[in-house]
Structure 1
Amino acid sequence: MNEETTVRNLSSLAGDAADNPFDFKAIRELAISRRWIILGTFVVCLAVTITWVAQLVPVYQADARVLIDSREQQVVDIQQVLPGLEANQTTMQTQIQIIRSRSLLLRVIEDIGLMSNPDFNLTLAETVAADEPDTAPAEPVLNSAAALRDETDLLSPERIGVVNKLRSALSVRTVGGSTVISISAESTKPALAAQIANSVANLYVLEQLNAKFDATRKATEWLTVRINDLADQLAVAEGAVEAFRMENNLFEANGVSLTAQRLSTLSAQLTTEKAQLAAAEAQLRQINRASGGRIQLDSLSEVLASGIISQLRGQEAQLRRQAAEYSNRYGPKHPKITDLRAEQQDLAAKIAQEVNRVKQRLQNDAEIMRARVGVIQTSLEDVQGATSEQDRARIQLRDLEREVESTRALHDSMLTRLKEMQQTEGVQTPDARVISPAAAPTVPVRPNRRQIFTVSIPASMALAFIIAFMVEKLDKGFRTASQLETALDIPVVAVVPEGGASSGTAAAKMPITEPLSAYTEAIRSIQTALMVSDVDKTVKTIVVTSATSAEGKSVLSLSLARLYAGMGKKTLLLEADLRRPSIAKLLDQNRWEVGLMDYLSGATPLEEAMHKDPESPLYILPVLKPPANPPMIVQSDAMRRLVEEMARVFDIVIIDSAPLLPVNDTRHLLSYVDMSLLAVRWDETSREAVEKSMLQLRENSAPLLGAVLTRADVRRHSLYEYGYGEYSKYGHYYTS
């Protein structure tokens, strides 16, 4: 595995709970391991919540409901000046804004005396003495017009502040999809909350009614003024019509002008006269033609109509009969016939004379008729001229009459509307009514202690877990084998407990004194891992190292060496930590005078430099005095030959080397040993240090058996992972 992979693995590691915060097992481990942090945080948060809730002032909410009724009470079928409200969403939202308007809230403030209430008048609250009563008496001032006259007072900062405070205490909303408006008021005093809600509702209804009355009153005043103006305009217009009619002689009888009547009469007379003249002229022409012998006079109507001529014709006919009779009787030459002829001639002369008189009369009549036709024709032309002038004047007259009619129609319609409004003025009804007055609440709406604690308990617990999670994230060490394996991608061969003693010396004796203890079992796990690590090659030399000092590698090396020695293996513990040797101190061997440095310098033979463990058949080659130049010694050929020679002589050689990070001594040893083992102190060694140590091991291509978690707290470790905390269940497998 390369360096980038290792860095990525270690960066993603922050404990099981941190890696997978939703894993139940990880959460359980976090809860148990950090239980005091969780419990303390939970108690503190709960105590803060209880203290905060105890200091909260209870707030009560009263609710009044108003119905917007779009139905109108039609006492009379007359349209109102201000029509009813339409039941739609826009109208409802508009009414809500009216209820929350400054003008209405100012009336509410005056109605219940909120200007003198410290809960709403913050300016007053700053000056109220501590022993004053909680509430000021409400002073009804519904009709306090004087209080609302001063515009400067209405817009004063103090009053605006009370309006804003009242608006924040009000909640106005529609109830579902209905036309009911809920008006909720909040106060620290139940009675005041109900009083505010009822005042807002009642004043809103009253405001609607007043708006209708005001609209009707203003419309009535305007109509009255307008009707008076129209009456004056109508009088002026009618006077102008009459004056124009007299000026242009446009008088009428039965709807017809006198000029038209005269024109009609003259036209009829002219027609009659012309007809009579034509008849007279026709008769005169017939008489004239009869005189010329072309027509018999007897056939003329005028001749036939003359009594004298008819009488003379009768006499003439009688004389003809007598002449005919006498001619037949006496012959044509008889004297009586001659007399009769003379009488006939005399009658003919009389008839001709009478016809001439008729002709003369007809001529006279025709002349008279012709004169009359001329006179009538002249009069008719005069009347026609006058009619043309009157027609032009009548057009202007009609314009004046139309103006009179329109003014009269407008005047009459406004007068009718005025009478209608006067009739409906007393029956105005508001479009809203209070259907549910507010009652003084008995239970505060805030604080809702049950809800607060219902939320605060899980919230406190969540905060406690978050803090525990953050502590877990900031934790620098490893506490479980799985953490270490996930971070380094290497096996953890054992988790070695602290050993149940206060010193490393006592712990290192446990493989001898307590072979069935948990500590010895952990060391035995390392021995088993070494045995099966490479079936093709026997592991002879093992380097035990660590990232930093004080991680228990020397105790681990001594314990592992004693375990091998106790198993009958010829074992050597070679101390290679030349800078801070500790094996002799662990064994409490102050009598040893020579060791590894004496052998490598050639001052002492190997047999004398090597010592026998007083507690086991283990051979030890210690470092009694730190040399001046440890790196040169570790990388020397003499050191290499020593390790190789010891591997041939002994069954197993355990090398206690220096830490990896402070010095480079161990890196030289890794090139000529069979296996390495990394000791990591439980919950102490930083993850960064372990990461860097693994990088060094991999850079040197050192054969690595794995890591060992040393000095583990058995009780705490059992909270994270199955292990030594389960002794109570499996105690018969181990000895204490």
Structure 2
Amino acid sequence: TDIGRIILKHKWTLLVVVVLAISAAAIRTFLSTPVYRSTVVLQIDRVSPRVVRFDADPEQERLGSDDVVAMRTQHELLKSRSLAERVIDELRLDQSVQRARVAGDARTRPSGTDTADEPTAADSDYLERLISGYRKLTTPSAQREETLDRDEVVKQFLASVTVEPVRSSRLVKLHVDNTDPALAAQIANTTVQAFIAMGMERRLEATSYAKTFLEDQIKQVKARLEESERRLNSYAQTNQILTLDEKTSAISQTYVDFATALAKAEQERFKAEAVATEMKRNPEASGAVIENKTIQAYKEQRAKLQIEYQENLKIYKPDFPKMLQIKAQLGEVDTQIKAEIGAISASVQAQYEAALRQEALTRERLAQTRKQVLTTQDHSIDLNLLKREVDTNRQLYDNLLQRFKEVGISGN
């Protein structure tokens, strides 16, 4: 065919082109510096950056749920310039001796070392001139590596570092490419250590800031607490409010005591009134008379005299002197019984009247105390407001003080 005739016609030309391409590829492969990769697996745990925490804090819930953003943040921190500069300073990679080992793109070209010598006119070897020309094309334009500024070193360092997250886990692979395998491993390990150290430093700085912040807040809340306590005490003294405990005032306790005393006085009056009524209706059948021992003795004496009178009546006539004497004794006993019953009735009536007076006095004092309680309740509105302010400030102070202790312990 026509294509075959064309290939046969220019076969030597095509062969020369293929040989030259293969030779150039072989020379480039032989002259290229091998690139080594060091890999470190890093586990990034969930750490809340919030130091001052409260219960049911929506910010804490948001930080806990947005885990993807947190992991991306850590990935970017691993590739950050600040971390790169820290590793460079720690390993002194920006010095000329070390730069010769770390500079350069690890995937495509050598690290820009100043190891290439200019070809001399005395060197007539073709291969040496070819190698020198190749190195001259691939080296930076600067003749001395000291002229490479820090930005170039940082740029080359970041180009040699690759962050690869492991899917469905909190693991991250950190790859470092370098022509020196030992230096690649050293850079990888140092980068991880510097990353951990920076995280700890950030937390320590946050703790230090939180301590300073809490100290200021504690001072302010303590001042407010003292001021609210002074105003509460001043208000209670101005209005003469005596508080026995957190829920009971002195005037309220007095009202409760008088209410109890009134109920007791009413019961005593009811009892005295019942006894007095019974005494008026049937004195001899009332309990006070029946239980009186003197009247019982008089009744026994009267019973004996009546028995003696009945026995003597069988022998003597009623107007006999002895019978008249017994009658006189019976009349004297009856008189004594009536006098004793009258004394008991007067005592019962006096007790009833005393119970009435006691009830009236207690009721009057209870009414006065009730007015004082109502007045105190009017004042208690402002008093309770002041109490709530004191309680709120005290609770804030206690919470801040407790959190300050926790932050101090975590900082140590």
TM-score, length of structure 2 as denominator length: 0.69
Q: CA deviation at 1:356?
A: 3.0
The reply on whether 1:65 has 2:40 as its aligned counterpart is: yes
Please name the residue that 1:216 is paired with: 207
- SS of the counterpart of 1:65? strand
CA contact (8 A) 1:263 1:380 kept: yes
Q: CA deviation at 1:299?
A: 1.7
| Equivalence map 1:324-723=2 (5 Å) | 324-391=310-377, 393-394=379-380, 397-426=383-412
**Aligned AA for 1:114?**
D
CA deviations over 1:655-712 (Å, ceiling 9, x no partner): xxxxxxxxxxxxxxxxxxxxxxxxxxxxxxxxxxxxxxxxxxxxxxxxxxxxxxxxxx
Instruction: Check 1:265–1:174 CA distance in 2 against 1; reply closer, same or farther (3 A cut).
Output: closer
CA-based RMSD: 4.4
| Structure 2: gaps spanning 5 or more residues | 54-59, 105-110, 113-138
Q: 1:97 aligns with which of 76, 79, 91?
A: 76
Instruction: Give distance in 1, aligned partners of 2:166 and 2:273.
Output: 104
Please name the residue that 1:43 is paired with: 19
Instruction: Check 1:173–1:312 CA distance in 2 against 1; reply closer, same or farther (3 A cut).
Output: closer
| Structure 1: gaps spanning 5 or more residues | 1-14, 18-25, 73-78, 138-157, 291-296, 427-736
Instruction: Check 1:209–1:266 CA distance in 2 against 1; reply closer, same or farther (3 A cut).
Output: closer
- SS of the counterpart of 2:315? helix
Please name the residue that 2:266 is paired with: 274
CA contact (8 A) 1:66 1:182 kept: yes
Instruction: Give distance in 1, aligned partners of 2:182 and 2:309.
Output: 150
Please name the residue that 1:490 is paired with: none
Instruction: Give distance in 2, aligned partners of 1:307 and 1:46.
Output: 147
CA deviations over 1:602-649 (Å, ceiling 9, x no partner): xxxxxxxxxxxxxxxxxxxxxxxxxxxxxxxxxxxxxxxxxxxxxxxx
CA contact (8 A) 1:269 1:376 kept: yes
**Aligned AA for 1:105?**
A
Instruction: Give distance in 1, aligned partners of 2:68 and 2:6.
Output: 54
Which structure carries more strand by proportion? 1
Q: 1:258 aligns with which of 242, 250, 261?
A: 250
CA contact (8 A) 1:173 1:181 kept: yes
Instruction: Check 1:216–1:42 CA distance in 2 against 1; reply closer, same or farther (3 A cut).
Output: same
TM-score, length of structure 1 as denominator length: 0.42
Please name the residue that 1:230 is paired with: 221
Instruction: Check 1:342–1:96 CA distance in 2 against 1; reply closer, same or farther (3 A cut).
Output: closer
CA deviations over 1:315-348 (Å, ceiling 9, x no partner): 4323322221121122445443344334433443
CA contact (8 A) 1:185 1:197 kept: no
Q: CA deviation at 1:377?
A: 0.8
Please name the residue that 2:56 is paired with: none
Q: 1:114 aligns with which of 85, 94, 100?
A: 94
Q: CA deviation at 1:199?
A: 4.9
CA contact (8 A) 2:51 2:206 kept: no
Instruction: Give distance in 2, aligned partners of 1:308 and 1:217.
Output: 94
Q: CA deviation at 1:212?
A: 2.3
Instruction: Check 1:340–1:215 CA distance in 2 against 1; reply closer, same or farther (3 A cut).
Output: same
Please name the residue that 2:233 is paired with: 242
Q: 1:200 aligns with which of 186, 191, 207?
A: 191
Q: CA deviation at 1:98?
A: 1.1
CA deviations over 1:519-570 (Å, ceiling 9, x no partner): xxxxxxxxxxxxxxxxxxxxxxxxxxxxxxxxxxxxxxxxxxxxxxxxxxxx
CA contact (8 A) 2:84 2:157 kept: yes
Q: CA deviation at 1:193?
A: 5.9
**Aligned AA for 2:211?**
T
Q: CA deviation at 1:379?
A: 0.8
Instruction: Give distance in 2, aligned partners of 1:99 and 1:106.
Output: 12
Q: Give the share of equivalent positions with the same residue, in percent.
A: 22
Instruction: Give distance in 1, aligned partners of 2:241 and 2:188.
Output: 76
Q: How many residues are aligned here?
A: 362
Instruction: Check 1:71–1:92 CA distance in 2 against 1; reply closer, same or farther (3 A cut).
Output: closer
Which structure carries more helix by proportion? 2
Instruction: Give distance in 2, aligned partners of 1:243 and 1:102.
Output: 61
Instruction: Give distance in 2, aligned partners of 1:177 and 1:359.
Output: 102
Instruction: Check 1:219–1:299 CA distance in 2 against 1; reply closer, same or farther (3 A cut).
Output: same
- SS of the counterpart of 2:242? coil
Q: CA deviation at 1:376?
A: 1.0
Instruction: Give distance in 2, aligned partners of 1:30 and 1:177.
Output: 58
Greater Cα radius of gyration, structure 1 or 2: 1
Instruction: Give distance in 2, aligned partners of 1:278 and 1:177.
Output: 87
Instruction: Check 1:52–1:349 CA distance in 2 against 1; reply closer, same or farther (3 A cut).
Output: closer
- SS of the counterpart of 1:252? coil
CA contact (8 A) 1:241 1:400 kept: yes
**Aligned AA for 1:268?**
T
- SS of the counterpart of 2:407? helix
CA deviations over 1:22-54 (Å, ceiling 9, x no partner): xxxx7xx77656523431331343355456668
CA contact (8 A) 2:41 2:173 kept: yes
CA contact (8 A) 1:183 1:201 kept: no
